[in-house]
Amino acid sequence: MTSKLQSACELAAIFAQEAANGHCPKGRNNPAPHLIAADVIALLRIGGGVARRAVQHCNGIPRYEGKPGQLVATWHQEDEDRKERLDARDLAKASEIAARYGAKAQIGGDPRGYTLRLFLASGRNNTFGGAESGWGVA
């Protein structure tokens, strides 16, 4: 099993436990397994986009600028505006999904670690930072 698949399965199991332990909002105490799986897949996709943009922010986007035929990695204000707009959209989506399980979502900009983290109501975590670092998704 790949590590990405393993982490997705683990997150789905934790969401199921969070629901079973009553950490979900009222009316959503026992979500169907396929809904949990869909939520985890959506979070992984969101996290992948956030991570990709964080790497681009650090390394720049390769463009043909300057000498013809020479790629130069740059980061412009338009890139920053686009990243901020997409990160805000993705945070809203991730927060909506996390709220279904009584959790909160946070986006970080450092691609060396998790760029999308969840703070579960139970305090469970998968990072060395403990509960204050949350559950790293991607």
- 36-48 tens-digit pLDDT: 999 999 999 999 9
User: How confident is the model over 42-58, as a mean pLDDT?
Assistant: 95
pLDDT band at 31 (very low <50, low <70, confident <90, very high): confident
Q: CA 98 to CA 129: how far, in whole Å? A: 20
pLDDT of 91 strictly over 80: yes
Q: Which two tokens stand for residue 50?
A: 């956030």
Domain total of the chain: 1
Q: Which residue segment(s) compose the domain that 107 sits in? A: 3-136
User: How confident is the model over 24-30, as a mean pLDDT?
Assistant: 72
pLDDT band at 1 (very low <50, low <70, confident <90, very high): low
